[in-house]
Every structure is written in structure tokens, then in C-alpha cells.
Amino acid sequence: MSFNLRNVLISDEVDDKCVDILRSNGIEVVKNTKLSKEQLISEIPKYDGLIVRSATKATADVIAAATNLKIIGRAGTGVDNIDCDAATKKGIIVMNTPGGNTLSAAEHTCALLMAMSRNIAQGTESLHQGRWDRKKLMGNEVNGKTLAILGLGRIGKEVATRMQAFGMTTIGFDPITPPEVAASFGVKSMSLDEIWPLADYITVHTPLIPQTKNLLNDTTLSKCKKGVKVINCARGGIIDEDALLRALESGQCGGAALDVFVQEPPTESPIIKHPKVTCTPHLGASTLEAQSRVAEDIAKQFVDMVKGKELFGA
């Protein structure tokens, strides 16, 4: 399959490598990261291709207005911001770049886990405010603790091997990854009900789908050890934020490290202000290396498409 791709709109901050590769292959590129939804709807009919990261929402009404659009590319892993059903119904191909930011997201997860364990953010904040909170900010070692990894795909696997180097025991759940595959990277597969009472830390690395929405909720958190710590560097909504807040207040949850939120930015959410929460503004993939890789990957995938090479993506 090949087709003519005259021009592409890049509507989010994607590394310029993407522009360079597309232009050097004869594809006209317009980069405009300032479009409102209404402006995008009025501009989109001009384009054959659209490349987004996460800010642009390629919703059904945007897709309905896209009379010439043949392909949407996401310079990232999840395609949550693209209405894939609406695109498929119109025959528009949706591509992503799974893998390009895996290592960055895994490193960020480990950084959040360690920062939470040692109160790095709270310590920085206290110094900024002129305090010297040594007694208040007692942490804990991760060595010898049990880390439960829910979702043993690309990122879950990389988190496991990194935290094993810190002396953590890694257990996990994934309905698709076979136990022998998990064992090959040092993770003992278990059912969720076996996991809850064993975990000192729980990190989620699943997509946000009906089966994973509110996976950590009042009921499942109550089955955990008192003081369990949780990390979400996957998608907002896998952990029920209201339930998490209640568990933090009661002490059932001893700390949370969050990179993603139900609503982004989470300006109104009390969760980001809680003293036991370490948080970052969806920075999992925000490294020069990951952004360079996903920009190159999506541009090459577009070019391959034009040249009729095999398609790639999740």
C-alpha cells in the first residue's frame, strides 16, 4: 500500500528532526503548535497528514472536518488523544511510535519511586522555604522491599530490571505476558489478589482501558499492606484519585508518585497538593533522547508509507 502525501501539519511540539526528514523526502510541512480546536477544524481540510504528541486532541469532530486526511501520527506511545474509531471509519491510518520513549518513561518511574522514598521533592521545597526539615523527612530504603508491577510490557520490564539493581523483589500481573516471559526478566507473575497483601510498592504500566480504569481503588487499596506506596507514570485514571486521596489521609497509602492525572493539567485536583505526593507534569517521555527518537520514528514511518513499505505501530 502506498499513497501520495503532499503535506503534513505538525500541531504539537515535536522535535525538528521530524520536519527535516519529511521535507528531505519531498513532503511539505507546516508546524503550528498554537491552534485552538476551532482553528484546527478550519485548517485540517488542507492537509493529507497530521502529526501530534499529546496536546492536540484529534477528536471525532476534528476528524469529520478532515476531508483530505489520510494519516495521523502520534510521536509517542498511547493514542488516547486520537479518536481511532472515527479515523478508521473514514479510512484514515493511525500510527504511533511504541518503544521510542520506553527507556525515558522507565527511568522516570524509577526516579519517582526513589524520590518518593527519600522525600526529595519535599526536601527541596523545605529548603526553598528556608527550612531544614531533617527529622520530618525520614525516608525508607527500597532494598529488600517488594515492588508489584501491573503491566509487564515494554516499560514494566525496564522498570523491573532497574529496580532489581536496587535490591527490590519484583512481582507482577499481566493478563497477556506469559509467566515464563516475566520470569525471564526476574518478575514472578501472580494474580492481583495474591499481589495486594505482598506489595510494599505498586507501579502501574498498563494502557488506560475499561479493565484498568480505577484498577487501584478503595477496595484494592484496602487489600494492600498499610503504608503501601504507589506510582503512576502510565495514564491518569488507572489509579482512582479520590480513593488515593482517602488512602493517603488514612495512612493506608504511605505515599504516591504521579506523572499523569485524570485531568491534565490537574489544576483543580487536591491530589497534587498533598504532602505525601511527589508529582511531575507528564514528563515521562520528556527527554532530548526520547523526543529525538519518536520524532525520527514517526517521520520515517510516514516516509515508508509513501514509499509503500511495511506499516509499523501499535
Closest separation in Å from C-beta 208 to ligand NAD: 6
264 has catalytic annotation: yes
- Judged by beta carbon, residue 77 or residue 117, the one nearer ligand NAD is 77
Query: What is d(CA 121, CA 11) in angstroms, rounded to the nearest whole number?
Result: 33
- Judged by beta carbon, residue 46 or residue 213, the one nearer ligand NAD is 213
- Judged by beta carbon, residue 259 or residue 297, the one nearer ligand NAD is 259
Residue 53 binds which entry of ligand MLT, ligand NAD, none, CB below 5-8 Å type-dependent: ligand MLT
CB atoms within 10 A of CB 103: 18
Closest separation in Å from C-beta 21 to ligand MLT: 18
Phi/psi at 186 (5° precision)? 80, 20
205 has catalytic annotation: no
Q: Are 73 and 51 in contact (CB under 8 A)?
A: yes
Query: What is d(CA 159, CA 170) in angstroms, rounded to the nearest whole number?
Result: 10
How many residues make contact with ligand NAD (CB under 6 A)? 31
Does 177 engage in binding with ligand NAD (CB under 6 A)?
A: yes
Query: What is d(CA 109, CA 15) in angstroms, rounded to the nearest whole number?
Result: 23
- Judged by beta carbon, residue 266 or residue 284, the one nearer ligand NAD is 284
Q: Which residues bind ligand MLT (CB under 6 A)?
A: 53-54, 76-78, 101, 284-285
Closest separation in Å from C-beta 54 to ligand MLT: 4
CA 104 to mean position of chain CA atoms: 10
CA 305 to mean position of chain CA atoms: 26
282 has catalytic annotation: yes
Sign of CA dihedral 250, 248, 140, 154: positive
Catalytic residues: 235, 264, 282
